[in-house]
Structure 1
C-alpha cells in the first residue's frame, strides 16, 4: 500500500508539471572538486589528460538553469510549439554563458575571460578582430549578440548543397512520440522502482525511489526501442550490451513535494562511483514556475559573413598566428 500511495503521489506531481506551459529547471552537483578529481584518477587517465583543477572547481560549483515556454501544456507540446527557451551556466563568481531562443533569433552572451581560465587556453580578444567586426567585438566583450537562425540555416545549406537546392527541414520530435517516450519511462519506473514515503520536513513531503541502475536503464531502452524509427537521425539506440559494464548497485532519488507539486529531486550517485573514497556525490534538480524568456534589449546582430570571417581571424590571433607570424610570447612553455 505504501508503494502504491507514494508512487501515485509522485505520478500526480509529474502530471501537474505536464500541465504547465512554462517551467524552469536548475541542475547542479552536490560534491566538491576533490571528489571529482578522485573520480577522475580512478579511471587511470593518460598523463596530461587528468581533469584540470579549474574544471573540477567549475563542475562542483556550477549551476545550469533551463527555462522553456510553450503555446500548449508541456505534455501536449511538440517541438514547434515551443516559443521561448533560455539556458544559463553560472557559478558563485558570476555567469559564464547565457543564451535565449526567442522566435527566429538566438541571443548569446558569455564571459570569455572566465571561460578561458576554465579551459586553460588563450581565448580570442576583441583586438584580434578587424574593425568591421563590430558584433563579434561585442560578443568578446561580454555583451548580448543575436543570430538569425533562419539565415544561418540557409547559409549552411548553401555551403553544403548543390546550387538551387532547398534546405531540408529540421528533424522534429512530435508531441505523440514525446508522450510515448514518457509513457515508456513511467511503465519502467512502475515496474522496477521501489517507492517509499520519507515523511515530512520543513512543510514538504519527501518520497524516495530506489532502483538498480543497470536494470533500470536497460529496461527503459527496451521499452522505447519500438520508437527508434520516430527519433531524429543520429539518435542511436543503445543495446543491453552497451550497459553490460554499468554498475547495478541501487540508486536512490529523493523527491520533494510542496502542496503536491514537485519542487526538487536529489539523486544520490555515490554508489555508482564504486569508489570507497567518494562519500558525497549527488545530482540536484530544482523546479520552479518559469518566467517567459524575453529578448535582451540592445543586442547586436551578427551576420554570417561576420561570423565566418571575423571569428576565424580572432581564433588565429588567439593561437598566436597572424600576418607577421607567431607572436613573440610562447604559450607552450607557460602551459608546461
Structure 2
C-alpha cells in the first residue's frame, strides 16, 4: 500500500479529483433516510450529483524530488510553493452539470484565475447577487479593465511583482491585519514522530481485504473500527502534540461522542502498482443505517498533461491595483 502511494509522485505530473459519485435520485434517497430535518430539492440534488474538485500539479522534475512539496502545512510553506517557478499547479471546481465554476492556476510564478459568475451563482443558490456583479462590470472605469474581465468570466493574471505591490499597498492602507501572517512550521524531527505515531495506530487497527480485479484494477477494501481508532490516534498524538504548532493542549481527551462505534471501510483501487482511487460511502457514517448510499471518490491520474498558462489572460497592472484599493477604501468610508 505504501508503495502504491509513493508511486504517485514518481512522475512529473499528477491530477487529483474529488467527485460525488451519485446521481440526483441517490442523493435524495440518502437525504430521506438520514432524516436531517430538511428536505433537499431535486434541483439542489442535481447540482451536487457529479460535483468535482480537481487539483493538478506538474514540475520540471519528479514530484518526489520537489522540496517545496515535502513540507506543506504553513503559510511560509505556501509562499515557498508560490515562489517556486519549477512547479506549476491548478485548482478547479466543476458543477454537477460539468460546467466549470472557477479555476486557479500558477505557471512559472504567475497566478491565473477565471470565474464563471453564472455557474457560481447557480451552485450557491444566489443568482441575483451574481447578476448584480455582471451589471456592475459595465460601469467600471478603464483603469479597472482587469476587474471587468474577471467579472465577465475571462482569465486574469498577476505576477509576483504585482502581488508584492498589492501586499505593500494593503499594508500602507492599514490593512495588514487581513494579510496571512507567517506561521511556525513542523520541524523534521517532530514530523517523523508524528508519522511514526500515526503509522503505529494504522498498523494496529486497519485491515486490508483483497477483493481481486475490478475494471482492470486491484480492489482492496480497507476497514477500521472508527471509535477505537479515533481514541488510539488521540493517545498516540498526545505526546507529540506539544511540539506541533497550534495543537499543543488542544486535543480532546477522547473521541467526539458522535464518532460511529462500528467498523468503517473504504474501497481502494490500485492500477499498474499505483493508487488509482479511494471511494468512501458517506452513508456508513450515519447513525441510522438504511439502503441508500452516497459515495465520494478521490481519484489520481498520473498521465495528466503538465499545467499550462491560459491564453489571452488580462494582467493585473500597478494602475489597476491602485484603483482597486482606492475603490475599496471609498466603500469602507461609506
Please give the residue correspondences for 1:5-154 in structure 2 after superposition, counting only pairs within 5 Å: 10-36=1-27, 39=31, 42-44=35-37, 54-69=43-58, 73=64, 77-79=70-72, 80=77, 82=81, 83-91=87-95, 92-102=97-107, 104-121=109-126, 122=128, 123=130, 124-125=133-134, 126-147=137-158, 148-154=162-168
Go from structure 1 to structure 2 and tell me whether the alpha carbon gap of 1:52 and 1:245 turns closer, same or farther (over 3 Å shift): same
Name the CA distance, whole Å, in 2 between partners of 1:300 and 1:236.
47
Per-residue Cα deviation, 1:10-50 (whole angstroms, up to 9, x for no partner): 122123234445321111122234554554873335xxxx7
Name the CA distance, whole Å, in 2 between partners of 1:34 and 1:236.
44
Name the CA distance, whole Å, in 1 between partners of 2:169 and 2:245.
22
Does the aligned pair in 1 maintain the 2:234–2:254 contact within 8 Å?
no
Name the CA distance, whole Å, in 2 between partners of 1:309 and 1:95.
31
Which residue matches 2:84? none
Q: Secondary structure at the match of 2:213?
A: strand
2:307 pairs with 1:293:
yes
Name the CA distance, whole Å, in 2 between partners of 1:295 and 1:235.
41
Aligned length, in residue pairs: 300
The alignment yields a C-alpha RMSD, in angstroms, of 3.7
Name the CA distance, whole Å, in 2 between partners of 1:235 and 1:146.
39
Give the deviation of 1:215 after TM superposition.
3.0
Does the aligned pair in 2 maintain the 1:30–1:60 contact within 8 Å?
yes
TM-score normalised to structure 2 length: 0.74
Go from structure 1 to structure 2 and tell me whether the alpha carbon gap of 1:307 and 1:119 turns closer, same or farther (over 3 Å shift): farther
Name the CA distance, whole Å, in 2 between partners of 1:235 and 1:25.
31
Q: Secondary structure at the match of 1:283?
A: strand
Give the deviation of 1:245 after TM superposition.
1.7
Name the CA distance, whole Å, in 2 between partners of 1:249 and 1:211.
8
Does the aligned pair in 2 maintain the 1:110–1:139 contact within 8 Å?
yes
Does the aligned pair in 2 maintain the 1:106–1:149 contact within 8 Å?
no
TM-score normalised to structure 1 length: 0.73
Go from structure 1 to structure 2 and tell me whether the alpha carbon gap of 1:93 and 1:75 turns closer, same or farther (over 3 Å shift): closer
Give the deviation of 1:266 after TM superposition.
1.3
Instruction: Name stretches of at least 5 consecutive residues in structure 1 with no aligned partner.
Output: 1-9, 317-322, 324-336
Give the deviation of 1:295 after TM superposition.
2.4
Moved over 6 A (4+): none
Go from structure 1 to structure 2 and tell me whether the alpha carbon gap of 1:31 and 1:261 turns closer, same or farther (over 3 Å shift): same
Does the aligned pair in 2 maintain the 1:22–1:74 contact within 8 Å?
no
Name the CA distance, whole Å, in 2 between partners of 1:177 and 1:292.
33
